Each structure stands twice: as structure tokens, then as C-alpha cells.
Structure 1
Amino acid sequence: MIEFIKSHIGSLILLTVFVALLTLGVQFLKPEWVHSSVWQIIIFYFGLMLVSGQLIQFLLKQSKENSVAILMGATIIRFLASLIFIAICLFTEIDNKILFFADFFIIYLLYLLFDIYSLIANLRPHSK
């Protein structure tokens, strides 16, 4: 069980459960702060981080000497995918676009912190 939580997928599921519980708490206490599309945002980021994380792990097994390029490329791809997602959502008939963008940005930052933590935890054993 501990090994699963330490794995990329396990820690990603744990983060997503935390974000979902946090969202439910805020939705219960201050429903006006949570956009109706917040669950789509959470699912999008879970899927994006899952696919990109698996791709990173596969590419790092293939070529460890290109690790910086692989990690930077994955970060740029995630950022561009986020921009495309937000552009599609904002150009459709979505209500309260500012609240949607604020919720999107908060969730983006939480998953970015997870990405940075994963990167640091991954690099720590290699620095010794």
C-alpha cells in the first residue's frame, strides 16, 4: 500500500481526492466561490497529469541523459494543453467566466505544486 501511494499514480490519486474534498468543503461553505464546471477542471487535470506522468516515466526509462529536456517538454505540453482547455471553455457559452478562470487557476497551481514536488522527490535520489 505504501509503495502505491509513493508511486506517481498513487500520489496523483491522493492529490485529486484532496482537491475534490477541498472543493466540496468550499462548495459547502461558500458555494458562490465554486463554478459549476469545477469538476470538469479537476477531471481534466487528473487526466492530463496521469498521461503526462506516464509519458515522462516511459521516456526517462528510454533516455536518462535527456531528463531535463523531457521534463521541460512535458511541462510546456501541460501548459499548452491547459491554455487550449481554457480557450475552448471560455469561447463556449459558459457563465461567469471570471469565476471559472479563478477556479481553473487555483486548481492549476495545486497540480503545479504537485508536479514540482514530484520532480524534487524524483531528483533527490539521483543527486547523491
Structure 2
Amino acid sequence: LSSIAPEIKIYAAEPLNADDAARSFCAGHIIADDAPNTVADGLKVPLKDLTWHFVSNHVTDILTATEEEIIDAMKLIWKRMKIVVEPSSAVPLATILKNPDVFKGKRVGVILTGGNVDLDTLPWLNN
């Protein structure tokens, strides 16, 4: 996307409990995270060279969300859209809601997926 429209800002989002990309982005090199603990299990994979290339060359910033913010975003998507998304997919919405000034007055695109969710273990059922 940044090649087609270089003026577009690309924000990455990740759980605060698995924030190796955010820490790496700030440091300018990969910082390994070998034991992340997050409900967003699809984002537990550590940052590697291929992904780092895209992050370091195309991402404007990386925003993080707490576990509670991720679960609240999942619930909001369910309540408003009746779509069950996996926790990892709720992270971008959680960061948008947490950082409204970054996105105010802008067109924002978010991809929602739900393939990695077990309806019997939805995180808010434990709250």
C-alpha cells in the first residue's frame, strides 16, 4: 500500500504483553520476545527478519493495547456488528479506540478475521 500511495500512514497494532515489534521499532533493530503472554495468541510469534523489513520500511508507528482493551474491542465488534473475531484481529480496533487523536478526521481501514476463535472459550466469558 505504501508503494501505491506513499502519503498513507500505516499503523501496526500489537498486544502490550507481546510488544516486541513496538520495542524493536523504537530501538531500530529486532528485540526478541521469547515468552509473550496474551489472549491474542496469533500475535505471540516473535518478530523475524522478513517481517522486520516491512515494519521498518513501511510502518508509521506501532500502537499497543492491553488485554482488557483487546477483549473490550472483541465485545464491541460482536455487539455492534454481530461478528465474532479472534483476539488478534481485535487488537487494531483496540488501539484505534485507545488513540482517538491519531485517527480523528481520517479514513481508517481495518481487516477483521475470525478463523482462530473458539466460541466456548471467548475471553469475556471468564470476566
Same fold (TM over 0.5): no
Please state which band the TM-score falls in when normalised by the shorter chain.
0.3 to 0.5
Greater strand share, 1 or 2?
2
TM-score between the two structures when normalised by the length of structure 1: 0.33
TM-score under structure 2 length normalisation: 0.33
Higher relative contact order (CA 8 A, sep 6+): 1
Q: Compare the two structures and name the one with the higher helix fraction.
A: 1
